Structure 1
Amino acid sequence: MSKPRKLPGTRRRGIVGHTVVALSDEVEYIDELRISTRPRTWLDLARTLRLDELVCMGDQLIRIPRPEFEGRSNPFATLEQLRAMVDRHKNLQGIVRAREALEIMRVGADSGPETLMRLAMLNAGLPEPELQLKLWDGPNAPSADAGYRARRIALQYDGAHHLDAAQRHSDKRRDKAFRAARWTVLVFTDKDLANEFQDAVLLIKKALRTSWVDPAIASGFASSC
């Protein structure tokens, strides 16, 4: 629980109180309950979360929502807004970690596991993948969670909701379309999440070593592998 510094601290069993300096645009109301905005909450959590956790949270704030499922078309925040939040609180505890997180946050991860997969790839020295990679331009094009267009490698993370029968059918059509276009499709699950994507990284490395390279768009890519 946070309170303005001019008010006395909270002392109750099970509640940890602290004081903060929050500007007016960092606070909002929900049903008359005064709470911090999402960007400010993200910044406050920088003092306690690990770097990968903070990146996961940030990726969810900046991702582009799907209106048909979420009833909104704008992200909760942008990278620019989060950078502005960090710049105005230069001495806040956790500010260094927040700055580090901003450098590796990316628009395009639809879930925490997708972010963790990307971070595992980067930590292993793999090239940065493209996120939400479409097989072709168009609203109904099959898409991969991540991948390398120049190498025709599509990476999918199928979480628990992919166990639904209708979703499994959709996933099969998606993967079939990529394979028909002669792409390598690698599908990862919660088992890969459990071992921190160590096996996944090995499979991706192997695919990068053996995959076909499109000379039209792969300039400079091979050297980074």
Structure 2
Amino acid sequence: MAEVGEVLARRGGSAGFADLRAVVSARAIRAALTAGTIRRIAKGVYALPEAPPALTAARSQGGAVSHLSAAQHWRLGVLAAPSLPHVTLPIGRQRRRAGLPCVVHWADVPVIDDVTTPIRTVLDCARTLPMNEALTVADSALHLGLVDHDELLDASARLVGPNRRRIQQVVRLADRRAESVLESALRAILIEEGIDGFEPQVPVRDAGFSARLDLGHRQRRIGLEADGFEHHGGRTAFVRDCRRQVNLSLRGWLVLRFSWEDVMYGRDWVVEAVRGALELPPLTNRLPQAA
């Protein structure tokens, strides 16, 4: 029975009967089922009780983990987890009624171990998600080095089907410098509202100071920071962050800080604040120019 579990573990927690029978006996499979160390999730498909839900659902349907579920598999940044696993079946294959619950798509897609490739995952998310969520996935894939921007551009140019122009826009705007999902979501708001001039991870440096802004407008010296709830992480970090804010102000930077709630649910407020900042005269620069 332990041997059956080990085989499933090596396969990501689930496998078909044929894969199991290649290395274990049918008797061992039946014994593991009786003992409850494995479970049958669909006809001819078995899984460990703790198997990853998305991969298990995909194999129960005879498909591949895709879209946001694939993004999670590749450890890409996502703004919100899907309520059900996303699975892509080959064109013409019927959904299995006995399979596990999931959101099903149909397409012939490249896969790695029953998960869509990172490039295909980015393209699928760009096709189906709002700009803020799609850009978050694309930025993260580039930042982690799982995809190359030129290859992603080429793949989007060859893509057919609905929302092709939208996919190409997301891919074109994706930036490997982005370092957090909230930063990407904030940048998506600016893009959709036609607010130009801001770029990710802008450095501010001189002989006595060094910092990076989540988003910075170099010409206007306006910085935007996207702060999650856990941003400060304690009193020491809070004090350090206050001093950073003062140092940026002394160097002529106006920094606007937005919370998760602002970025996710207060779009109008964010846009109003950024546009208001752009209308202000630049702060007086008291110290040497920043990088």
Report the AA paired with residue 260 of structure 2. D
Structure 1 length as normaliser, TM-score?
0.72
Report the AA paired with residue 169 of structure 2. E
Give how far 1:119 is off. Answer: 2.3
Give the percent of matched residue pairs that are identical in Structure 1 and Structure 2: 24
Please identify the structure whose Cα radius of gyration is greater.
Answer: 2
**1:120-166 C-alpha deviation (Å, 9 max, x unpaired):** 2233332230211111279x821111121222212111112214114
Report the AA paired with residue 200 of structure 1. V
Query: Where do residues 71-82 of structure 1 align in structure 2 (5 Å cutoff)?
Result: 75-82=145-152
Q: How far, CA to CA, are the matches of 2:103 and 2:215 in structure 1?
A: 40
Give how far 1:9 is off. Answer: 4.1
Structure 2 length as normaliser, TM-score?
0.58
Structure-2 residue corresponding to 1:71? none
Whether 2:223 is the aligned partner of 1:154: answer yes
Q: 1:178 aligns with which of 218, 223, 248?
A: 248
Larger mean Cα displacement after TM superposition, 7-16 or 111-120: 7-16
Report the AA paired with residue 36 of structure 1. T
**Do the aligned partners of residues 6 and 115 (structure 1) sit closer, same or farther apart at CA in structure 2, a change above 3 Å counting?**
closer
- Superposed CA RMSD: 3.0
Query: Where do residues 3-82 of structure 1 align in structure 2 (5 Å cutoff)?
Result: 5=90, 9-11=94-96, 12-15=99-102, 19-22=106-109, 26-29=110-113, 34-63=114-143, 75-82=145-152
Give how far 1:110 is off. Answer: 1.7
Q: Secondary structure at the match of 1:173?
A: helix
Q: Secondary structure at the match of 2:224?
A: strand
Given that 1:132 and 1:146 are in contact with CA atoms closer than 8 Å, whether structure 2 keeps it comes out as: yes
Structure-2 residue corresponding to 1:212? 282
Q: Matched residue pairs, number?
A: 196
Q: 1:197 aligns with which of 267, 274, 278?
A: 267
Q: Secondary structure at the match of 2:190?
A: helix
Unpaired stretches in structure 2, ≥5 consecutive residues: 1-57, 65-88
Structure-2 residue corresponding to 1:222? none
Give how far 1:212 is off. Answer: 1.8
Q: How far, CA to CA, are the matches of 2:214 and 2:239 in structure 1?
A: 17
Report the AA paired with residue 179 of structure 2. D
Given that 2:189 and 2:267 are in contact with CA atoms closer than 8 Å, whether structure 1 keeps it comes out as: yes
Q: 2:185 aligns with which of 116, 137, 153?
A: 116
